[in-house]
């Protein structure tokens, strides 16, 4: 069992490693949108109520996000894997007095399950992760933003072979990113822009004692360049779309892990709606395209309260 565990744990960690490799891109896009929405809301409130404008550092908003992810290896890959995951993210947005810098600390809780096989056995996994992170968005100008941040995570993965034997893997990970987000052109109710960011992710795995391999590690750098578009349907509703080209480099794989596709794309659609002056609801769907190894989709909904 030890030999199988060390060989397949890396394989089943692949979905998590892929997600971790894209963490820089995902965090950048999500926190950029949160910061922009908070900045817009703060500006409106300040403009309407100058006497009540915040001075100094203050809590501008809190938010909660729920997400569901689906990952499937392509049919032509032997012993292909598939997994499903759920995650919750909670955090707040801290602003400075001039509302040009936003710091977003947050916590994440994630759980996923996978199933597949190798030439010896059927394999099922059950994984859980907890993480904490922070992101920073600074508005150099209203149309030019600089972003950065990082996240730490820890968790475990239970691997079950043929419904009986179990191997447990402890997982630790970190990720960091930096980038820019620029609005380029506005036309009537439409706004178009670009963004570019670079990120790095690292995952350490400690396999169960007795495995032929005791430890494993993976690392990947990622660069994501995006074309963004937003349609301001009303003064309360915004619809958006994003096309992202992602390139991985400096990749180090986990033992037994299938190689990652180094170049692929992601198509995203998103929406935000102000329920009232203090509450907004938002969501997005992200789908990986032009990837020869796997298919992945993530759906997210969030709720934000402003102060």
Q: Where are the domains of the chain?
A: 2-306
Report pLDDT for 44: 55
Collapsing DSSP to helix, strand or coil, 203 comes out as strand
Q: Which CATH superfamily is domain 2-306 in?
A: Autotransporter beta-domain (2.40.128.130)
Taking the C-alpha atoms of residue 57 and residue 134, their distance in angstroms, rounded to an integer, is 16
Return the percent helix, strand and coil in the chain, to nearest 5: 15, 65, 20
Which is nearest to 79 in space by CA: 18, 112, 121, 113? Answer: 121
pTM, 2 dp: 0.82
Report pLDDT for 140: 96
Tell the burial category of 189 from Cβ atoms under 10 Å away from its Cβ (0-12, 13-18, 19+): exposed
Q: Tokens 């009540």 correspond to what residue?
A: 52
Which is nearest to 149 in space by CA: 159, 158, 138, 160? Answer: 138
pLDDT digits (tens, 9 = 90+) for 132-154: 999 999 999 999 999 999 999 99
Regions of the chain with pLDDT less than 50: 1-12, 14-29, 46-52
Could you tell me how far CA 149 lies from the centroid of its own chain? 12
Taking the C-alpha atoms of residue 141 and residue 144, their distance in angstroms, rounded to an integer, is 5
């Amino acid at each position: 069992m030890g030999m199988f565990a060390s060989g397949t744990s890396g394989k089943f960690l692949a979905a998590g490693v892929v997600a971790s490799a894209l963490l820089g891109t995902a965090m950048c896009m999500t926190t950029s949108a949160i910061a922009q929405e908070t900045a817009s809301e703060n500006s409106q409130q300040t403009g309407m109520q100058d006497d009540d404008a915040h001075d100094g550092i203050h809590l501008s908003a809190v938010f909660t996000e729920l997400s569901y992810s689906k990952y499937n290896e392509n049919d032509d890959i032997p012993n292909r894997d598939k997994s499903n995951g759920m995650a919750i993210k909670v955090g707040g947005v801290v602003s400075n007095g001039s509302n040009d810098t936003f710091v977003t600390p947050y916590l994440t809780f994630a759980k996923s399950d996978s199933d597949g096989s190798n030439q010896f056995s059927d394999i099922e996994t059950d994984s859980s992760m907890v993480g904490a992170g922070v992101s920073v968005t600074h508005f150099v100008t209203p149309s030019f933003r600089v972003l950065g941040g990082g996240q730490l995570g820890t968790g475990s993965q239970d691997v079950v072979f043929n419904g009986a034997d179990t191997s447990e893997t402890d997982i630790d990970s970190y990720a960091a990113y930096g980038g820019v987000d620029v609005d380029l052109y506005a036309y009537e109710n439409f706004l178009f822009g670009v963004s570019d960011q670079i990120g790095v992710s690292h995952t350490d795995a400690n396999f169960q004692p007795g495995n032929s391999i005791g430890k494993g590690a993976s690392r990947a750098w990622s660069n994501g360049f995006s074309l963004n578009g937003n349609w301001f349907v009303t003064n309360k509703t915004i619809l958006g779309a994003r096309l992202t080209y992602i390139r991985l480099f400096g990749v180090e794989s986990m033992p037994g892990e299938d190689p990652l596709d180094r170049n692929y794309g992601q198509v995203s659609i998103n929406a935000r709606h102000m329920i009232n002056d203090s509450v907004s609801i938002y969501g997005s769907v992200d789908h990986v395209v032009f990837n020869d190894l796997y298919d992945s989709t993530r759906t997210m909904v969030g709720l934000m309260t402003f102060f």
